[in-house]
Amino acid sequence: MLREFNTLTEQEQQLMFDAIPLITILVAAADNHLDEVELSEAQRLADIRSYNNRGRLNAFYEHIDEGLTDRIQELYNGMQNGVVEREKNIVRELSKLNAILAKLREPYGYLYYHNFRTFARHIAEAHGGFLRFITVGPKEAKVMDLPMLDPIAKPPEDEYPDLI
């Protein structure tokens, strides 16, 4: 178990670990198609973040990195009710993160919130556009900022220098 998760139930921990796969599905399949480019970008980004995240969330990304693509596919295949129904289900699940993030000690609530949002943005930008301009389509743009998550303020710089 990750140290920052010691106040979470097993179900809450599982939702935290499923957050990245759910975010990937929400954003990448917003156009009702989850393609290889978006899947490989999610895997690549998790790989990078498992060792290049200023040390604070490395263990989280190491935990989800192995088997990430399989978990995304597993969750996606269980949600084949159409894009609207899938989006509702994912939004409902991701909304549960608000209570979980609030339970995490500082600065972890902010770090996870920030990481989830930047992960979503990278996935949205992974595919499309002309010469990589205007890379985010309107459907991805609607969900990539994860509006279902309540903003978490960045902790004071003097207490947590070089946070992000």
pLDDT digits (tens, 9 = 90+) for 24-45: 999 999 888 888 988 999 999 9
What is the C-alpha to C-alpha distance for residues 4 and 60, in angstroms, rounded to an integer? 10
Mapping DSSP to helix (H, G, I), strand (E, B) and coil, where does residue 160 land?
coil
Task: Give the Cα separation of 9 and 100 in Å (integer).
Answer: 9
Q: Is the pLDDT of residue 7 over 70?
A: yes
- Cα 118 to Cα 147: distance, rounded to the nearest angstrom: 13
> What is the model's pLDDT at position 141?
80
pLDDT at 54: 64
Token pair 């309540």: residue: 150
pTM, to two decimals:
0.92
More confident: 88 or 128? 88
Residue 57 has pLDDT above 70, yes or no: yes
CA 1 to CA 128: how far, in whole Å? Answer: 38
Mean pLDDT of 5-20: 97
State what percent of residues in the chain have pLDDT above 90: 68
Summarised one tens digit per residue, pLDDT across range 66-117 is 899 999 999 999 987 888 999 999 999 999 999 999 999 999 999 999 999 9
**What is the chain's alpha carbon radius of gyration, rounded to the nearest angstrom?**
15
Q: pLDDT category, 137, cuts 50, 70, 90?
A: confident
